[in-house]
Amino acid sequence: MKGILTFGLIALSAPAAAGVVGASANGMEVRQVVPLVVKPEVAFEAFANLPAWWDPAHTYSGKAENLSFSPNPGGCFCERFPDGGGVEHMRVAFVDPGKRIILTGSLGPLLYESTTGVMDVQIKSTAGGSQLTLDYRVSGFANGGADKLAPVVDQVLTSQLKRFRAYATARPKS
């Protein structure tokens, strides 16, 4: 499948703090903390415009413009395929506009495993602007063990949030 959501090793620096919080054969937690020089509302709006900053290399179609994201309860982070079909990457379970959004689903190759994931994204005000904290918790059966996948998932999310940070900070600061 062209451009499949590959969790290949990526040698990029972390947006701020990144890491595997915990991992076992049946689960993992990865946390990313991203400082931003924009207000929380701007950061939230930028996060909600996910197709604008998501790396197309981590899509099934190879094109971020095939992504859609509806930041409302029940909303979908989905991808359509040019010749029909598509994939639901995650579903929105909770939204507190400007502050928090929780998504459920298994990203990338985790989709093919017997896992479930919860991505909890919180944005808080800081003296310099805001801070986004992303916790992605996955549990279930992952062939080969979730503990083996955790560092790779961490690296991919680090790369994605580096793109998010560049996108969010390039937006108007008001």
Per-residue pLDDT tens over the stretch 111-123: 999 999 999 999 9
pLDDT band at 160 (very low <50, low <70, confident <90, very high): very high
Q: Two tokens at 172?
A: 């108007």
CA dist list (Å): 7 to 48, 95, 148, 158: 22, 27, 12, 11
**Of 50-54, 110-114, 146-150, 170-174, where does mean pLDDT reach its minimum?**
170-174
What is the pLDDT, as a whole number, of residue 174? Answer: 54
The pLDDT mean for the chain works out to 89
Surface-to-core class of residue 128, CB atoms within 10 Å of its CB (0-12 exposed, 13-18 middle, 19+ buried): exposed
SS3 156: helix
In tens, the pLDDT along 72-111 reads 999 999 999 999 999 999 999 999 999 999 999 999 889 9
* Residues with Cβ within 8 Å of residue 63, at least 6 apart in sequence: 3, 56, 82
pTM of the model: 0.87
Domains defined along the chain, listed by start: 21-47+92-169 (3.30.530.20)
Distances (CA, A) of 19 to 33, 147, 150, 155, 162: 9, 13, 9, 8, 14
Q: What is the mean pLDDT of residues 124-151?
A: 95
Contacts of 102 (CB under 8 A, 6+ apart): 92, 93, 94, 95, 118, 119, 120, 121
pLDDT over threshold 70, residue 31: yes
- The model's pLDDT over 35-46, given as tens digits with 9 standing for 90+, comes to 999 999 999 999
Return the pLDDT at 7.
Answer: 34
Question: What does 70-116 look like in DSSP terms, one character per residue?
Answer: --STT-EEEEE-TTS-EEEEEEEEEEETTTEEEEE---GGGGGTEEE
> What is the rounded CA–CA span in Å between residue 163 and residue 174?
21
